[in-house]
Amino acid sequence: MSASLLFSFVIGYFVLLLVVAWVTSRNSNNDSFFIGNRNSNWMLVAFGMVGTSLSGVTFVSVPGTVGDFAGDGYKGFAYFQVVIGYFFGYLVVAFVLLPLYYKMNLTSIYNYLQKRFGTIAYKTGALFFIISRTVGATARLFLVIFVLQEFILKSFGVPFVVTALIILLMILLYTFEGGVKTIVYTDTLQTTLMLVGLVATVVYILNNMHISVGDAMRTLTDKGYAKIINTDPRSGGFFLKQIIGGAFITISMFGLDQEMMQKNISVKTLKDSQKNMITFNLVSAGVNFLFLLLGGLLYLYAMDHGAHYGQSGTSMQFIAEGKNIIGDKLFPTMALEMMPQAISIIFIIALISALFPSADGALTALTSSFCIDILGLKRRTDLTEKQQKKLRLTVHLSFTVIFLICIMIFYQIGSRSIIDKILDLAGYTYGPLLGLFAFGILSKRSLPQSAAITFICLAAPIVCYLIKQYSVQLFFGYQVGIELLIINGLLTYLGLYSISKKATPQTLLDEPVHL
């Protein structure tokens, strides 16, 4: 497949996004950027969030996990255990957190912490969101930029850092003015194209191999690719860990995340926002299963075209045309080198459609959080609307530079399966947020205006790192996995409890919501 032809489609797609951005950002202001003037259509938000939550990581990494190895067998469909947990987590977001955010009429969800505990807790929560979303978003960005670099721009002699800079400038250009008002529409377009790419690839493989979905599932089951439930309690992939951990990941990475909630609270009413969440929840579960099915089909298709497993030292490889394509390299290699040109084009369009929703929303949300939560832009009466906009654009540009630096760090580190890395990092960075919000919602106690709050939130991830590193030795072979987030949140909660005191009616700034 010609790299020049593929690159021309990337440019054409970007031009389309710029047109949409220009149309939607006319007459925009700071409220348009931050919350879309609280007038977004709930159906568009729900559909667009599918692309945002899945991202290029799901598009590339989830299919690759199916034939990868964990312990003494394939990982198979084990990721769906986490997806089941996501389902329950989204219900908590819809019926516990959203009512709280709408009741308080929040622009930034971290204002809840300010009203509940004061400025230090508020700034600490916002800081951990900024760290969490920066790390998560740049990890997702790295994967897709790496694919574009390896399969398109590398043939032109373009260095990786230049590829990363080009992609970031593209995202910066079409989010610079409109913010949320723009990305509600661009995410809808991008989700549509991503799902078209997913379905088209599945249909092509089924037709090429002359099998039905039922036949494919039976074959995958026979080969051990379709296994979902892990029943080993000591394993990091044990099903109860995965389901409970998945639920808390959703509550933390979605319900306590300004990027995701920024789109939800841009919907006019709580009822519509909840309809958005339920619709998104059901669609997301179905799409994740389809990605796992695609992963299984890709391994079957590859083996049907001569690919095979091989041992290299202590690790297993999946060799196709002399290259190891196990994990994240599977889908890009198959689509761009072992399938017809039409599928290659569809893959590239779908891939960049998966890239932009996760990146544009993150860049916008980080700008919003830093301006509102750290700089206090909404409270700055000394600045005109024009001056506020100039400050906001400066912050937006600054985060673009930070994204570039983080992407280059991931490039130096490298990873075979980036989705495992993201879930691992989330356990460290989102745990303090989970602990802060849980303490506010579940208790009636107050916290002192003290730097001890920030210290506790910083100490909990460090303790969690030590627990994870030595869990096998300390707990008789038990491996800490996805439940690390829960442990982190619990340590933060207990630390906050240790410095808290019983609140009086005068000090309790906001009546907590009980589960």
Q: Where are the domains of the chain?
A: 3-422
Domain 3-422: CATH architecture, name and number where available = Up-down Bundle (1.20)
- For residue 131, give Cα distances in angstroms to 124, 265, 353, 432, 453: 11, 22, 25, 11, 17
Q: Which long-range contacts (CB under 8 A, 24 or more apart) does 167-172 make?
A: 167/141, 167/355, 167/359, 168/141, 168/359, 168/400, 168/403, 168/404, 168/407, 169/400, 170/14, 170/17, 170/356, 171/356, 171/359, 171/360, 171/363, 171/400, 172/363, 172/396, 172/397, 172/400
81-95, 169-183, 361-375, 421-435, range with greatest mean pLDDT? 81-95
- For residue 179, give Cα distances in angstroms to 30, 185, 261, 361: 9, 11, 14, 8
Residue type, 200: A
Q: Between 312 and 461, whose confidence is greater? A: 461
CA atoms in the 13 A half-sphere facing the CB of 33:
25
DSSP 426-479: HHHHSHHHHHHHHHHHH--EE--SSTHHHHHHHHHHHHHHHHHHHHHHHTTTPP
On average, the pLDDT of the chain sits at 82
Model pLDDT for residues 389-440, shown as the tens digit of each residue: 788 888 888 998 999 998 998 888 765 566 677 778 888 989 999 999 999 9
pLDDT at residue number 37: 46
For residues 448-477, give the mean pLDDT. 90
The contacts of residue 435 (CB under 8 Å, 6+ apart) are 457, 460, 488, 489, 490, 491, 492, 493, 495, 496
Q: Phi and psi (nearest 5°) for 269?
A: -125, 155
Q: Residues 67, 74: contact at Cβ < 8 Å? A: yes
Q: Between 140 and 506, whose confidence is greater? A: 140
CA angle 65, 68, 73 (to 5 degrees): 120
DSSP 269-289: SHHHHHHHHHHHHHHHHHHHH
Strand partners, 310: 317
Q: Between 101 and 9, whose confidence is greater? A: 101
Tokens of 456: 């506790």
**H or E stretch covering 484:** helix 484-499
> Residue 73: helix, strand or coil by DSSP?
strand
pLDDT at residue number 512: 44
Least confident of 95-104, 250-259, 363-372, 502-511: 502-511
Q: Phi and psi (nearest 5°) for 289?
A: -65, -40
CA atoms in the 13 A half-sphere facing the CB of 198:
27
Radius of gyration of the chain (CA): 23
Q: Between 42 and 348, whose confidence is greater? A: 348
pLDDT grade, residue 515 (50/70/90)?
very low
> Residue 195: helix, strand or coil by DSSP?
helix
Tokens of 193: 């194209």
- For residue 224, give Cα distances in angstroms to 5, 76, 221, 298: 38, 7, 5, 14
Tell me how far apart the alpha carbons of residues 473 and 395 are, in angstroms, rounded to a whole number: 45
Model pLDDT for residues 105-128, shown as the tens digit of each residue: 887 788 899 999 999 999 999 899
Tell me how far apart the alpha carbons of residues 425 and 419 are, in angstroms, rounded to a whole number: 10
Percent of the chain with pLDDT over 70: 84
Tokens of 244: 């409970």
Tokens of 439: 């303490």
For residues 481-486, give the mean pLDDT. 86
pLDDT grade, residue 45 (50/70/90)?
low
Q: Between 260 and 201, whose confidence is greater? A: 201
Tell me how far apart the alpha carbons of residues 241 and 413 are, in angstroms, rounded to a whole number: 27
Tell me how far apart the alpha carbons of residues 35 and 326 are, in angstroms, rounded to a whole number: 41
pLDDT at residue number 139: 82
For residues 376-395, give the mean pLDDT. 79
pLDDT at residue number 171: 76
To the nearest 10°, report the CA torsion of 148, 154, 158, 160: 60
Q: Residues 348, 3: contact at Cβ < 8 Å? A: no
Instruction: Check residue 512 and report its DSSP letter.
Output: P
Total Cβ atoms within 10 A of residue 22:
13
Tokens of 302: 């590859």
pLDDT at residue number 34: 46
Tell me how far apart the alpha carbons of residues 435 and 457 are, in angstroms, rounded to a whole number: 8
pLDDT grade, residue 33 (50/70/90)?
very low
Tell me how far apart the alpha carbons of residues 476 and 480 are, in angstroms, rounded to a whole number: 12
Asked if the model's pLDDT at residue 473 lies above 70, the reply is yes
Model pLDDT for residues 175-188, shown as the tens digit of each residue: 655 445 566 666 67
Q: Residue holding tokens 């099998």?
A: 211
**H or E stretch covering 501:** strand 501-502
Tell me how far apart the alpha carbons of residues 153 and 188 are, in angstroms, rounded to a whole number: 27
pTM score > 0.75 for this model?
Answer: yes
Q: Between 511 and 160, whose confidence is greater? A: 160
Output b/e per residue, 471-484; b: 16+ Cβ within 10 A. Answer: beeeeeeeebbbbb
Model pLDDT for residues 441-462, shown as the tens digit of each residue: 999 899 999 999 999 999 999 9
